[in-house]
Amino acid sequence: MKIIISCAITGSIHTPSMSPHLPFTGADIAAQAVGAAQAGAAILHLHARDPENGRPSADPAHWRGFLPDISRQSDAVINMTTGGSAVMTLEQRLAAPEVFAPEMCSLNMGTMNFALYPMAMRPRDWRFDWEEPFLRGSDDLVFKNTPRDIEAVLTRMGAKGARFEFECYDISHLYMLRHFMDRGLIEGAPFLQFVMGVLGGIAAEPEHLVHLHQTAQKLFPDHHWSVLAAGRRQMEFAAIAAAMGGHVRVGLEDNLYLGRGVLARSNAEQVEKVRGIVEALGREVATPDEARAMLGLKGRQVFA
């Protein structure tokens, strides 16, 4: 089976001050997304930012600042977040996906602590005044994804034909997914994204990945699985996942570096690196249309 490379272009975790290469304007998000697709990413996992202040945004107008350009210049799968930011309400998080009705959405499978405050420990010049207090305040931040929230996303986005990247930050999230499959709210082979290395979720350790994989095999006889490791172990875990037969996700949302002490200048650089790793392991990289066929997506869209 060919390997799907996903790329998370920008997100709510890292702030613009942490890297001058993190995109937050619509034009930069579009350019980096198209570059990542050209480098080999079949799926583009997307968040929006307010171009004036870099804050994570749920405003459909901010999404419109880059979605049309990406969809016109690339045939990659558009995967819109329904996680948004841990400080957004569910209605805010669904505002743009319900407007654009993409072929894929992310869906977080459980409520959890989402502790980002260690990022604020190192002295730096903050670009925007919200960044440092936001990170420091995450020692009291709960990322709310209750069963009611999950059902709402499944029902509302499923009605628009979306398939899901089920983001599983711990073993319990796999059992929650099984629960919703047993209730008949999820059909077909699920696409699991094992999210490792976030403080509050499962740590990025090889034995934990083996446990996640074995549990998924027990719970879901037919499924696709992928791995992302937040931070410095990103490429290491991409290599492990590829060797185990899984798919991979990279991108500046999850890790700002290309190697030890070397900032990635673009998302495309990370895609190029991981593509080299997986091809060296003897695996072929899936095209967007091959990914669509594997995951049962409704097909490419060009957004206006």
Closest CA to 207 of 167, 172, 237: 237
Write down the pLDDT at residue 12: 86
Left if phi > 0, otherwise alpha if psi is -120 to 50, otherwise beta: which for 54? left
Write down the pLDDT at residue 60: 98
Residue 258 within any structural domain of the chain: yes
Residue 198 within any structural domain of the chain: yes
Q: What domain count does the chain have?
A: 1
Residue 15 within any structural domain of the chain: yes
CATH number of the domain enclosing 203: 3.20.20.70
Q: Answer yes or no: pTM beyond 0.85.
A: yes
Residue 130 within any structural domain of the chain: no
Residue 301 within any structural domain of the chain: no
Residue 76 CB partners (closer than 8 Å, separation 6+) = 33, 36, 37, 41, 42, 43, 44, 70, 288
Burial (CB count within 10 angstroms: exposed 0-12, middle 13-18, buried 19+), residue 146? exposed
Residue 89 within any structural domain of the chain: yes
Give the domain extent around 57: 5-114+143-295
Residue 136 within any structural domain of the chain: no
Residue 29 within any structural domain of the chain: yes
Write down the pLDDT at residue 123: 87
Kindly state the DSSP code that residue 199 receives in the 8-state scheme: B
Write down the pLDDT at residue 13: 85
Per DSSP bridges, beta strands 77-80 and 191-196 are unpaired
Q: Are 192 and 166 in contact (CB under 8 A)?
A: yes
Q: pLDDT of the chain along its 304 residues, tens only?
A: 899 999 999 988 899 999 999 999 999 999 999 999 999 999 999 999 999 999 999 999 999 999 999 999 999 999 999 999 999 999 999 999 999 999 999 999 999 999 999 999 988 899 999 999 999 999 999 999 999 999 999 999 999 999 999 999 999 999 999 999 999 999 999 999 999 999 999 999 999 999 999 999 999 999 999 999 999 999 999 999 999 999 999 999 999 999 999 999 999 999 999 999 999 999 999 999 999 999 999 999 999 8
